[in-house]
Amino acid sequence: MEQQAYWAIGIFLVIYALIISEKVHRTIVAMLGGVLMVGFGIVNQETALHHIDFNTLGLLVGMMVMVSITAETGLFRYIAIWAAKKVKGEPVRILIVLGLITAFGSAFLDNVTTVLLMVPVTFSITRQLKVNPVPFLFTEIIASNVGGTATLIGDPPNIMIGSAVKELTFMSFISNLTPIVVIIMLAYIPILVWMFRKKIQTTPELKESLMKLDNSELITDHKLLGKCLVILGLTILGFFLHQSLHLESATVALAGAFLLLLLTGEHTMEKALSRVEWTTIFFFVGLFVLVSGLVETGVIAQLAASAIKWTGGDPLATSMLILWLSAIASAFLDNIPFVATMIPMIQEMGQMGVQNLEPLWWSLALGACLGGNGTLIGASANLIVAGLSGKEGHPIRFIDYTKMGLPLMLLSIVLSSIYIYLRYLM
Amino acid sequence: MINYQFDAEVLDITENRDGSDTEFNIKLHQEQPYLDRLRLVQHVFDDNKDYTDVLFYAYAGHEYKVIVRQEHYVDFVTELWKARLLRSLEWNEECWDPR
């Protein structure tokens, strides 16, 4: 390897360690890492910009704008309360339906956005029933990471994989990942019920009080809701058809976002754009440039060659290595930088003669998304829910979370291993 | 803690202490403009980043249950007063300390 490759590895490792240490905000660290790659001449500015995946960024921005406007209508609160009433205010059933709503929401929205929409209504329902909110919040964390795995737009790793591999369309994510996601959710539900059933008991009077709630009061702006539903519907239709329309997913999401802003007027724009998580967007920008240093200096190619040598290029061994390594790494590290590093490595494996990359991509998606359930620091949604819960007087401790989350994560990876083997490698 | 007065022709307010919370039951006798004013109060607490400070539950016939955490009691009644749903507010004897 050339001298520049050693510089690139050094910068990458220092930045990665700083991201893990959480001493400085990860966005600042990643952006500084990107600047160092350019500053040290490892990549020039033009090459660095070429490595920034604007499809990933556009998709995230577009979805964040649409969700922030839709949240103003009270729709998500309405759905949660409606579902709680449908199950007659029974806490165990509410635990299941809130988990399913979170999983479904996370499949089409960013996980963090979904849990931010679900947490307030969860507090509202559990306070009404006078039950501990933690079992519900834990279920939502788990469901958000599982649900987010189901589609191209559900979780940042999938957005990044879908963006990097043009053949993997919105529909191929659904047809390949949704079946295993459904299996995992079906396996989780009885376990979660068994774990929490005794901790979430309430009285018939409190259930009755919840049943009498007037849902109609929850929708605050019917006109705006109509516009949001039309645009969200068209956007999701656009995702299904994006390949036939020869459009990137970011074009679909941005078209939806700005059409909605056109319909809702300028006064909505300022608020909606201010609610875009710009820190996340710049985190991605920094990471793309950081990883570009490893790609351009041939480090990624070397890593791919080593992995192929280690597994002998055997599809089963390589898939399992990627699946389990991604899951374990994602349980303790941020899955976004991990996936940003793994994508060029898998692409390199293709160039080195590995014929069928499909099981490798799905292994990466499953490992990186589901691995986030392993510990409290495994995914942003976990930390956000735990932070909000702690702030409201119900702390979720790292060790308590891990005792419940890690076995569930391992179960999902065992199920995924069987699925990958049976569907692609048998 | 606080004594307040309201127009009984417009609304009724009752409150019960429940552990560290206070539960208000508010019944509006006249819909407008009081319903919009109450929604304005709800908006203040829904829009902040504290999810359990004040929780609103709507029932049929413009009846509302509001669960208020004890440390937000004063904030809540003050917002009701600011929205002109209360006529007056005053500290009761045990809380009044002019120093």
- With cut-offs at 50, 70 and 90, classify the pLDDT of residue A98: very high
> Is the bond leading into A120 cis (omega within 30 degrees of zero)?
no
Looking at residue B71, the DSSP 8-state letter turns out to be G
ipTM of the complex: 0.84
- What is the three-state SS of chain A? CCHHHHHHHHHHHHHHHHHHHCCCCHHHHHHHHHHHHHHCCCCCHHHHHHHCCHHHHHHHHHHHHHHHHHHCCCHHHHHHHHHHHHCCCCHHHHHHHHHHHHHHHHHHCCHHHHHHHHHHHHHHHHHHHCCCCHHHHHHHHHHHHHHHCCCCCCCHHHHHHHHHCCCCCHHHHHHHHHHHHHHHHHHHHHHHHHHHCCCCCCCHHHHHHHHCECHHHHCCCHHHHHHHHHHHHHHHHHHHHCCCCCCCHHHHHHHHHHHHHHHHCHHHHHHHHHCCCHHHHHHHHHHHHHHHHHHHCCHHHHHHHHHHHHHCCCHHHHHHHHHHHHHHHHHHCCHHHHHHHHHHHHHHHHHCCCCCCHHHHHHHHHHHHHHCCCCCCCCHHHHHHHHHHHHCCCCCCHHHHHHHHHHHHHHHHHHHHHHHHHHHHC
Residues from B contacting A (CB-CB < 8 Å) are 39, 46, 50-52, 55, 57-60, 65, 67
Question: How many residues belong to chain A?
Answer: 426
Interface test with chain A among B18, B52, B59, by most A beta carbons within 10 Å: B52
Which chain A residues have a beta carbon less than 8 Å from that of B59? Answer: 212-214
Q: Are A212 and B51 a contacting pair at CB < 8 A? A: no
Q: In the predicted model, is pLDDT for residue A410 greater than 80?
A: yes
Q: In the predicted model, is pLDDT for residue B41 greater than 70?
A: yes
Q: pLDDT > 70: what percent of chain A?
A: 100
Could you say which of 1.10.3470, 1.20.120, 3.40.50, 3.30.70 is the CATH number of the domain covering B2-85? 3.30.70
Average pLDDT of span B34-54: 88
Q: Are A141 and A382 in contact (CB under 8 A)?
A: yes
Q: Are A212 and B52 a contacting pair at CB < 8 A? A: no
Q: In the predicted model, is pLDDT for residue A227 greater than 70?
A: yes
Q: Nearest-5° angle of CA A13, CA A17, CA A23?
A: 145
Q: Are A393 and B65 a contacting pair at CB < 8 A? A: no
- With cut-offs at 50, 70 and 90, classify the pLDDT of residue B99: low
Query: Which of these, B48, B21, B76, lies nearest to A388 by C-alpha position?
Result: B48
Q: In the predicted model, is pLDDT for residue B94 greater than 80?
A: no
State pLDDT tens for residues A125-179: 999 999 999 999 999 999 999 999 999 988 889 989 998 998 899 999 999 999 9
State pLDDT tens for residues A233-291: 999 899 888 878 888 889 999 999 999 999 998 888 888 888 788 888 898 899 889 98
Q: Are A406 and A377 in contact (CB under 8 A)?
A: no
Interface test with chain B among A119, A123, A124, by most B beta carbons within 10 Å: A124
Interface test with chain B among A77, A132, A217, by most B beta carbons within 10 Å: A217
Which chain A residues have a beta carbon less than 8 Å from that of B65? Answer: 209
Residues from A contacting B (CB-CB < 8 Å) are 119-120, 123-124, 127-128, 209, 212-214, 217-218, 220, 388, 391-393
- 3-state DSSP call for residue B92? coil
- 3-state DSSP call for residue B22? strand
Amino acid at A69: I
φ/ψ of B31, rounded to 5, equals -70, -55
Average pLDDT of span A56-66: 88
Q: Are A124 and B55 a contacting pair at CB < 8 A? A: yes
State pLDDT tens for residues A238-249: 988 887 888 888
Query: Which of these, B89, B80, B86, B73, lies nearest to B42 by C-alpha position?
Result: B80
In Å, how far is A394's CA from the nearest CA of chain B? 11
Tell me, what's the pLDDT at A211? 93
Query: Which of these, A212, A220, A194, lies nearest to A128 by C-alpha position?
Result: A212
In Å, how far is B82's CA from the nearest CA of chain A? 21
State pLDDT tens for residues A354-380: 888 999 999 999 999 999 999 987 887
The radius of gyration computed from the CA coordinates of chain B, to the nearest angstrom, equals 13
Q: In the predicted model, is pLDDT for residue A215 greater than 90?
A: no
Q: pLDDT > 90: what percent of chain B?
A: 61
